[in-house]
Amino acid sequence: MVRWLLLAILFLFIAHAFWKVVDNVIEAAGGTARRRGSAPPSVRLVRDPVCGTHVAPRTALSATAGGTTHYFCSEECRAEYGRQRAADRRQ
């Protein structure tokens, strides 16, 4: 009786370890995490119109022109964009 109980516990331990490995492989491959709250929320990146760098809107610098908000990776890119718009308006 004790032998069967120990074998059942060993089987449950191996099955649990196996499913943890499978869950981690699926998560690493870009699949959905099985545990609630384990995957970080996805962030939509936007492209800096001057240098092409992709930035998160929440942390980027921004400027609104013509009713459209543009996001920048640095103050230099935002200033360059302003210079380009000013030059376009002069022409």
21-39 per-position pLDDT tens digit:
888 888 777 765 555 555 5
User: How much is the pLDDT for 69?
Assistant: 92
- Per-residue CA distances from 19 to 15, 29, 32, 77 (Å): 6, 15, 14, 48
User: How much is the pLDDT for 39?
Assistant: 54
In the chain, domain spans: 1-38, 46-90
Fold adopted by 46-90? Ribosomal Protein L24e; Chain: T; (2.30.170)
Cβ neighbours of 74 (radius 10 Å) = 15
User: How much is the pLDDT for 2?
Assistant: 87
Query: What is the Cα–Cα distance from 15 to 34, expressed in whole angstroms?
Result: 16
User: How much is the pLDDT for 35?
Assistant: 58
User: How much is the pLDDT for 38?
Assistant: 55
